[in-house]
Amino acid sequence: MSLVSTYHGKHVLITGGLGFIGSSLAVKLVRLGAEVTLVDNLMPEHGANFFNVRSIKSRVTISLSDVRDENIMAYLVEDKDFVFHMAGQVSHVLSLSNPYPDLDINIRGTATVLEALRKYNPKGVFIYGGTRGQYGKASNPAKESDISQPTGIHEISHLAAEQIVSTYHRIHGIPAILTRMTNVYGPRAQMKHDKYCVVNWFIRKALTNDTIPLFSKGKIIRDFLYIDDCVNALLSLALTKTAYGEIFNIASGKPTSFLALTKTIVTKAKSGRFVFAPFTYERKAQEPGDFWADISKIRQYCSWQPKTTLSTGIKRTIKYYEKYHSHYF
C-alpha cells in the first residue's frame, strides 16, 4: 500500500494539530500531497506550538478553535476524508487536582466531533488517539482484548471516549479506528514541564546538564515509541478498512526500564546525570507498574512495524532540540 498514492489530494482534518503528534502527522501528510486542516485551541501547557508547523505553514489551513464547539466542528468535518482526533487534556497529573478538563475535553470534545461526522460526513474515517494508560495495571505484554483497569480520571476519560467512538461506529456506521499509544517521544513535543512526555522531559534535563530523578530506582518498565513510527502506524491504520471498529496498540513492543532509558539519554547527550528519588504523591497515586504492549494485532492488520531503535530515536530527538531548543524551553 502506497501512502503517497493514497493520501495525495485527500482532505484531512487533524484536531490538536499544533501539538506533538498532530503536527507530526500534518508534516507527513503534506509531504504525501494531502490537503490538511489543523484545529487547535492553544490550551496553555498542552504543547501547541506554531513552530511545529513552520515548514508547512503556507500549505495547511489552521483553525484556532475548540473541538467542543458544535458549529465549528460541523463546518470543519464536512468534506474531510479522514479525521485524526489528537486533541485532548493530556496530563494525568493535572487530573488529580482538577478532573473537569479531562471529562469535558476528552469525553465531550470527542462526542462533539463524532456528532458532527454523523450529521454532516458519516463516511469520513475517524481515527482516535488514545493512551496505554487506559489499561491501568496490565498483564504484560498488554493485549487489546485485556480488561482495562485505569488508575486515574485522565485514563478513565480516554476509555470513556473510546467507548463513545465504538458506539458511533456500531450504531451510526462511522468508520472509526481506536488506538492506544504508548510513551511516544521525539521532535515537536513540549519541553516546558514534566506533566507528560516523560522521555522528552528527561532529554531536556540532560541537555541543560541537570539531574534526572528516577523513581523506584529506575526499575519500572515502559514501552517507548519514536514519533515517526507512531505517525506511520496511524496513517497505515487509517487506510485499512478491516480495522474499522477495532482497537490497536501503537507501541514498540519492547520493554525498557527507565534506568536503561536514562543511561541512553545521558550517553547520547554527553551531559546530565540521574539520581534515585522517592515518588511524588501525584506520581505514586497513579503509577500502574510495568507496562509494555503486544503489537501483533497491528502487524496482522496493516503490516506495520516500528523501525526506529531507542538509541537512534534518542539521538535524533537530541539533535532536534539542540538546534531548536529556544522554541521549546
CA gap 245, 146 in Å, rounded: 16
The partner residues of 212 in beta bridges, in order of sequence, read: 274
Q: For 242-295, write each residue's pLDDT tens digit.
A: 999 999 999 999 999 999 999 999 999 999 999 999 887 666 666 778 999 999
**Residue 4's pLDDT band (cuts 50, 70, 90):** confident
The number of beta carbons lying within 10 Å of the beta carbon of residue 64 is 11
DSSP symbol at 88: S
**Exposure class string for 2-20: b at 16+ Cβ within 10 A, else e:** ebeebbeebbbbbbbbbbb
pLDDT score for 40: 98
Kindly state the helix (H) or strand (E) to which residue 31 belongs, with its residue range: helix 20-31
Instruction: Decide if 53 contacts 26 (C-beta within 8 A).
Output: yes
DSSP symbol at 104: I
Three state DSSP letters for 108-160? HHHHHHHHHHHHHCCCCEEEEEEEHHHHECCCCCECCCCCCECCCHHHHHHHH
Task: Provide, rounded to the nearest whole percent, the portion of the chain with pLDDT above 70.
Answer: 98
Instruction: Decide if 258 contacts 55 (C-beta within 8 A).
Output: no
Which pTM does this prediction carry?
Answer: 0.96
Task: Provide, rounded to the nearest whole percent, the portion of the chain with pLDDT above 90.
Answer: 89
C-alpha distance across the termini of the chain, in Å: 39
pLDDT score for 316: 98
Q: Which residue from 194, 203, 183 is spatially nearest to 254, judged by alpha carbons?
A: 183
Coil, strand or helix at 54: helix
Q: For 65-120, write each residue's pLDDT tens digit.
A: 999 999 999 999 999 999 999 999 987 777 778 889 999 999 999 999 999 999 99
CATH topology of domain 3-189+224-254+292-308: Rossmann fold (3.40.50)
Instruction: Decide if 41 contacts 66 (C-beta within 8 A).
Output: yes
CA gap 264, 312 in Å, rounded: 10
Q: What interhelical angle do 310-324 and 198-207 show, nearest 10?
A: 60
Q: Report how many helices (DSSP H) and strands (DSSP E) the chain contains, helices first.
A: 13, 13
The number of beta carbons lying within 10 Å of the beta carbon of residue 300 is 11
Q: Structural domain boundaries of the chain?
A: 3-189+224-254+292-308
